[in-house]
Amino acid sequence: MSHEKIANLFDDWAKSGRGERMQIGHGDVVEQVVADLDVRPGHQILDLGCGVGWATRILAQKAPGAQAIGIDVAPEMIAKAEELSSYTIRARYEVGTFEHLDFPDEKFDHVFSMEALYYATDLPQALREIHRVTKTGGEVNVVIDCYAERESTHAWGHTLGLDLHVLSEADWKQAFEHAGFTHVELTRVKDRRGAGVEGDFQASEHFPSWEEHVAYHEAGSLRIRAKKPF
């Protein structure tokens, strides 16, 4: 799977307004995870696969003087992120890939990512890069919606025409540990709004039936939390 193919797909999403709409779908889970992060004044935060940057901006406002940088392979996502940004928020956005992070070693106190890492073209290389740019003692929080134990997501790669890393929880833990991270914890985060009501449900390419939508909701998002040890 090439970066160009991924960028083309997500450029189209950005142009059709789907970048902003992801905040509606992912917002509650991100709110719960971000509430739990120990972001201190002056901390440097990286948001991987930032899309239109809504989570980057939330992260940047978590503590005085904190700065968040969002990177994304899709230039149209970054263009939207810049449009939606404000000079009063210490957030900036760059076109870049997980596999080559254009930052010095040990720059970030926190690395965050919502619904993006399983698109990596080279997952071990991406994790090595994340480890390299994380400060010693720093923390990584990766949240994903598509993983092996959540069967309702298994067809997503086929639907999108992309090769996704649909890993089990045990495989994610092993991949992070292999990259040098410790204290790797896996937890599920459920959207507090619930699955909704059947009468309002509309079938889509991701959720062909109400039952699949409910099963998806009940499984929750997978949060992978890891530390770069001292």
Q: Which residues bind ligand SAM (CB under 6 A)?
A: 3, 6, 10, 22, 26, 49-51, 55, 72-74, 77, 97-98, 114-116, 119-121
In angstroms, give the least distance from the CB of 174 to ligand SAM. 20
In angstroms, give the least distance from the CB of 120 to ligand SAM. 5
Please give the C-alpha separations between residue 195 and each of 24, 33, 191, 216, 220, in angstroms, as whole numbers. Answer: 14, 19, 8, 9, 11
In angstroms, give the least distance from the CB of 212 to ligand SAM. 19
Q: Which is nearer to ligand SAM, 41 or 86 (CB)?
A: 86
Count, residues in the chain: 230
Angle, CA 172 vertex, CA 130 and CA 157 arms, to 5°: 95
How much helix, strand and coil, in percent to the nearest 5, is found in the chain? Answer: 40, 20, 35
Q: Which is nearer to ligand SAM, 49 or 138 (CB)?
A: 49
In angstroms, give the least distance from the CB of 55 to ligand SAM. 6
Q: Which is nearer to ligand SAM, 70 or 138 (CB)?
A: 70
CA 178 to CA 219: how far, in whole Å? Answer: 26
Q: Which is nearer to ligand SAM, 46 or 114 (CB)?
A: 114
Dig out the tokens for 18 from the structure: 């789907």
Q: Which is nearer to ligand SAM, 4 or 198 (CB)?
A: 4
Q: Burial, 127: exposed, middle or buried (Cβ in 10 Å; 0-12, 13-18, 19+)? A: buried
Q: Name which of 42, 54, 111 is nearest 85 in CA terms.
A: 54
User: Residues 55, 25: contact at Cβ < 8 Å?
Assistant: no
Q: Which DSSP state fits 117?
A: G
Q: Which is nearer to ligand SAM, 37 or 77 (CB)?
A: 77
In angstroms, give the least distance from the CB of 78 to ligand SAM. 9
Dig out the tokens for 43 from the structure: 């901390």
Q: Which is nearer to ligand SAM, 44 or 56 (CB)?
A: 56
In angstroms, give the least distance from the CB of 183 to ligand SAM. 24
CA 3 to CA 73: how far, in whole Å? Answer: 7
In angstroms, give the least distance from the CB of 112 to ligand SAM. 9
